Amino acid sequence: MSQLQRKPFGTRGEVHRITPESAGWRYVGFSLHRLRAGDRVEEVTGDREVILVMVEGKARLTGAGQEWGELGDRMNVFEKTPPHCLYLPNGSDWQAEATTDCTLAVCSAPGKGGHEARRIGPDGITLTERGKGTNTRHINNIAMEQEDYADSLLVTEVFTPAGHWSSYPSHRHDEDDFPRITYLEETYYHRLNPASGFGVQRVYTDDGS
């Protein structure tokens, strides 16, 4: 269970990298870059599709042979405004140059070449409420199953008020038996406000103990 939590391994540049190999599963990957103004990062997607999410700050992005201009608007993720994102299919390359200090998330999954590169948001992303009582949370759906944005990748932001629960009621995604249950691999990138706060996440073993 201790392997389920991964802390940042740096403070600048790439500070998180989760791969299917490092996680011990098959599909989903996640990395995070903390950049200062003027910093640059570039990668190739290989056999994976990616969605770049401007968590906070601004950067000038190129990808899949196109100039996408400066993306980003909010300077703090807790502003809750819709993020600027970029979808890139497998077989692409991309580059980001920070125009302000920024945080850039790279979400990835196997690609099939079924979608073209495109901007996602902020238009079309609306903060919506989900759950009731202390299970209430607020969602920015970036790329979910109701939108045909990607081959196999789902991406969303969740803002959970202090003292509330997310991903509730308890559930699992370890079988492919639709509609009763679906097989999904998930990464969660957690941020706290204030940074000195704390959170609790409960993960159960296969035998339920």
User: Would residue 168 count as lying in a domain?
Assistant: no
Phi, psi of 133 (to 5 degrees): 55, -135
pLDDT at residue 1 is higher than 70? no
In a domain, 75, yes or no: yes
C-alpha dist (Å) from residue 190 to 55, 78, 132 = 12, 12, 22
Residue 195 belongs to a domain: no
Q: For residue 155, is it within any domain? A: no
Quickly list DSSP for 38-83. Answer: T-EEEEE-TTEEEEEEEEES-EEEEETTEEEEEE---SSGGG-PPP
Confidence of residue 113 (pLDDT cuts 50, 70, 90): very high
Residue 172 falls within a domain, yes or no? no
pLDDT digits (tens, 9 = 90+) for 16-66: 999 999 999 999 999 999 999 999 999 999 999 999 999 999 999 999 999
Contact 113, 90 (CB under 8 A): yes
Residue 76's domain comprises 2-124
Considering the domain boundaries, does residue 151 fall inside one?
no
Read off the pLDDT band of 98 (50, 70, 90): very high
Can you give the pLDDT at residue 2? 59
> Mean pLDDT, the chain, as a whole number?
93
pLDDT single digits (tens) 163-203? 999 988 888 888 888 888 888 999 999 999 999 999 988 88
For residue 4, the model assigns a pLDDT of 81
pLDDT band at 143 (very low <50, low <70, confident <90, very high): very high
User: What letter would DSSP give residue 133?
Assistant: G
The CATH number linked to 68 is 2.60.120.10
Mean pLDDT of 152-162: 95
Radius of gyration of the chain (CA): 17
31 falls within a domain: yes
Residue 91 scores a pLDDT above 70: yes
pLDDT of residue 204: 80
Q: Can you give the pTM of this predicted structure?
A: 0.94
Q: How many domains does the chain have?
A: 1
Asked if residue 147 is part of any domain, the answer here is no
In this predicted structure, what is the pLDDT of residue 97? Answer: 98
Tokens found for residue 52: 């770049």
